[in-house]
Amino acid sequence: MLVILLGSEASIALPIDGCPGYKATNVQDHGVSLTADLHLAGSACNTFGDDLATLKLKVDYETDTRLHVMIYDADGIVYQVPESVLPRPISNNATSRSNSAIQFSYQEAPFSFAVTRTDTQETLFNTSGSNLIFQSQYLNFRTSLPQNPNLYGLGEHSDSFRLNTTDYTKTIWNRDAYKIPDGTHLYGSHPMYIEHRGKAGAHGVFLLNSNVMDVKINQTETGEQYLEYNVLGGVFDFYFLAGPSPKDVTIQYADVVGPPAMVPYWGFGLHQCRWGYRDAFEVAEVVYNYSQANIPPGTMWTDIDYMHSRKVFTLDPLRFPLDKMRAFVSYLHEHYQHYIVMVGPAVSYSNYSAFRNGVQQDAFLKENNGSIYKGAVWPGVTAFPDWFHPNIQHYWNDEFESFFSADDGVDIDGLWIDMNEATNFCPYPCNDPTSTSASSSSSLPGFPSVLQPPKKRSLQTRHTGDKLGLPNRNLTYPPYDIANAQGPTISERTLNTDLIHANGVAEYDVHNLYGTMMGSVSRNAMLSHRPSKRPMVITRSTFAGAGAQMGHWLGDNVSTWSKYRISIAQMLSFASIFQVPIVGSDVCGFVGETTETLYVRWATLGAFYPFYRNHNVEDARPQEFYRWPTVADAARKAIDIRYRLLDYMYTAFYQQTKSGAPVLNPLFYVYPKDPSTYPIDLQVFFGDAILVSPITTENSTSVDIYLPDDIFYDWYTGVPVRGKGKTVTLSDVEFTKIPLHIRGGNIIPLRTESANTTTELRKKGFNVVVAPGQDGTATGHLYIDDGESLEQTSTLEVQFEYTSGKFQMQGHFEYHAGVSAETLTILGQSGQPREILTDNGKSVEYEYDGKTKVLTAQVDLSLTSWSEVNFS
């Protein structure tokens, strides 16, 4: 047996004194994988649960850039994230250790391991100096870090994009985070981080574990930097991603959790919502007012207001009667607009169809005594669907089909899922703070025996290999006290964590999966309802891999400048790290009163969120864009830019669904060797080409922005701007304008003009803008399909290239878009050409502006075949 000793890393003090760690035996090295037994190396310390005496180690070189390391219990009883929730990546091209970009090494006793980069032998992850702890309710591992590391990820949170590395704790436990408090855990669980070491490259570490955890980043008393996992269950299931560029890490992560799902073209339009629309007539009036203000009202949403007594799958018969709602939705569809409603998981515990049907199909979570678990949410006493129940998809499909049917209900185009952490306002019956729902009656008054609850569920019986969780754990008050911002127990304002699902897993283990599972079941219900259409599903609560089926809005933010600013970092985390690119915050803020300056600036920033929705709370004044003239002006200008860029955005998003390359990029993704870009989270690249640098302070008309050492072009004038790797000040930026630059080396397909709807937009031709790089060349892409079908029978995929005065367009031209590239705009031209000729020898008319160095040619190139334009 070959034992590879780890290098001379600085020692790290034990996280828990006296715990013996483990010893590796029976090591089997197969070249493409390695297995070993791990035995407790001394007396059990049993600090936060019982130490497990025997573990298993399994290491797989799954690809040249991905290493999978699992440490789990020998009996296979300890809970693991079900493959039904997050399917494991298939490795058809498993590699050997000698061919891998990263290497696994270990120390036999006390057991520790390291991951190093093959070419440079740089250590990326090293647990030496701290002993592995694997207990029934507590897992602990530390890795050493370089000093002042550049760390990103570990969401969901509203902290800076580059994480604090001094006395920093990030709790990962989904919760209802009203007003998004600073420095706390929020709605989602994404235990993934990227570490970027500049010229030495970047790597990623993903811990596939859905249990509550505290991840701590700090320094020891002697100054050594470390990252420490404190996990309250499950197993260590690590994926190490080699990079070496930050964007490579993101692409490799998509291979693990799945690339994002394609959404309909109209989903990138403007969305309008409010909690507090009093009736269907007010919603219709909002659509009318947007139209009158010449602001595209692409999709209207209604919050909980449309429900009868706030019961899911109902309409208020007085304020939102069925005939009026059907007429309203028909009007929207006739005008190429769309409609989305909110659906939450809590089903009113009352005599109505959604509850009766759920009882009949045994679809709700149960107490251990067999009675339906009761909580309290908007409609009062509620039941909660059990997303692990075998009947749950059928139940949810039926509710969708009966309520959202075009023939009998309200024909929605997309779905908004709220409160799915799941939120529970208080332990029923609520009037006694010491009570729990365990005291609920075991029978349902007024229901026949066929609708009474089944036999009780229990966690006590477990079998080898079932991976459902160890018995005899304290599922309500675990011994380790996490930094839970919600309250003193992990069940605070959510479902009781001692509930057992239909498949035998405890809510304690799968709480962080609840929101994503609801999104998945709801997506399937939408597909059942509209089989040929791409679902548009937006959810609040997420887990790793959620983007493969849904998008995410950033929750109940506040109308403040700080939340405006931090929305950029939050958006970057989801789009560029967590692979959830359909993301955005409530524009202008959800809670509180906005100011005119903030309102104007946020309306323009929001136009560069992938998901662009205006939404606010019922007790604040309405904030539709048309209500203030300056805001309306700003929104019109920003939406005009967004819509002309919509195909550029759609193409970038399509590329992320195929390769994982992000639609949004922090500056260090584009300039990974420039240290000045590493902390920047107030600028963002929209795709690879459009640099967005919003004004971020109140009442200001100037902003300091960083321009890397490269050539850029001002969006509004086309004038070249030479970045020198320094911060520059943009002055006199009018309130209705957002600073934008095009990065040299890119070709951008723009619609020639905007439109009132995305349907009308698709009828506009293209102006192809060429922004040459410092070497005089540029490239770009354009993807077009029918914009809504789940499966595409034909597509248009075009590659643009510009070099040495020659523009070429080639690719696959199966889909006929019905429009052409009407104009070709070349930026940064020092003079005008003698002649411009197309590939058939036709001379082209053009205009040249010597002041801005912009050349515009009237080319009229068909998007049905290869084309070439020569500039003599």
pLDDT tens for 643-692 read 999 999 999 999 999 999 999 999 999 999 999 999 999 999 999 999 99
pLDDT at 461: 62
Q: Using N-to-C axis directions, what is the helix angle for 646-659 and 246-257, rounded to 10°?
A: 70
Residues 115 and 6: beta-carbon distance below 8 Å: no
pLDDT at 40: 98
CATH topology of domain 22-257: Immunoglobulin-like (2.60.40)
Question: Which listed CATH number (1.10.645.10, 2.60.40.1180, 2.60.120.560, 1.10.10.10) goes with 648-742?
Answer: 2.60.40.1180
Least confident of 442-451, 819-828, 847-856: 442-451
- What CA–CA distance (Å, rounded) separates 288 from 311? 28
pLDDT at 862 over 70: yes
pLDDT at 463: 78
Q: Comparing 265-553 with 648-742, is the CATH topology the same?
A: no
Encoded tokens for 372: 């339906």
The b-or-e profile of 702-725 (16+ CB within 10 A means b, else e) is ebebbbbebbbbbbeebbbbebee
CA 359 to chain centre: 33
- What CA–CA distance (Å, rounded) separates 703 from 693? 8
Least confident of 300-314, 450-464, 541-555: 450-464
Sketch the domain layout of the chain as residue ranges: 22-257, 265-553, 648-742, 746-871
Encoded tokens for 839: 């590939």
- What CA–CA distance (Å, rounded) separates 211 from 232? 6
pLDDT at 718 over 70: yes
- What CA–CA distance (Å, rounded) separates 124 from 742? 35
Encoded tokens for 833: 């050409």
Catalytic residue list: 418, 421, 556
User: HSE on the CB side for 843, CA within 13 Å?
Assistant: 5
The hierarchical CATH code for the domain 265-553 is 3.20.20.80
- What CA–CA distance (Å, rounded) separates 52 from 63? 31
What is the average pLDDT across 354-377? Answer: 96
pLDDT at 1: 30
Q: How many residues does the chain have?
A: 872
To which residue do tokens 């190093």 refer?
A: 116
Q: How confident is the model at residue 457 (pLDDT cuts 50, 70, 90)?
A: low
pLDDT at 432 over 70: no
Q: What angle is formed at CA 35 by the lines to CA 29 and CA 37, rounded to 5 degrees?
A: 125
Query: What DSSP assignment string belongs to 131-170?
Result: --EEETTEEEEEEEE-SS-EEEEEEEE-S-SBPP-SSEEE
Percent of the chain whose pLDDT exceeds 90: 90
Residues 438 and 368: beta-carbon distance below 8 Å: yes
To which residue do tokens 């066929």 refer?
A: 450
pLDDT at 20 over 60: yes
Is the Cα dihedral 685, 805, 868, 852 positive or negative? positive
- What CA–CA distance (Å, rounded) separates 452 from 441? 11
pLDDT at 9: 35
pLDDT at 744 over 60: yes
Report phi then psi at 107, rounded to 5.
-115, 135
The answer, yes or no, to whether the previous bond of 83 is cis (omega within 30 of 0) is: no
The answer, yes or no, to whether the previous bond of 422 is cis (omega within 30 of 0) is: yes
pLDDT at 405: 86
Q: Which CATH superfamily is domain 746-871 in?
A: Golgi alpha-mannosidase II (2.60.40.1180)
pLDDT at 837: 95
pLDDT tens for 506-545 read 999 999 999 999 999 999 999 999 999 999 999 999 999 9
- What CA–CA distance (Å, rounded) separates 824 from 807? 9
pLDDT, greater one: 276 or 407: 276
pLDDT, greater one: 563 or 457: 563
Residues 665 and 685: beta-carbon distance below 8 Å: yes
pLDDT at 184 over 90: yes
Q: How far is CA 540 from CA 415, 432, 868, in A?
A: 12, 29, 47
- What CA–CA distance (Å, rounded) separates 438 from 440? 5
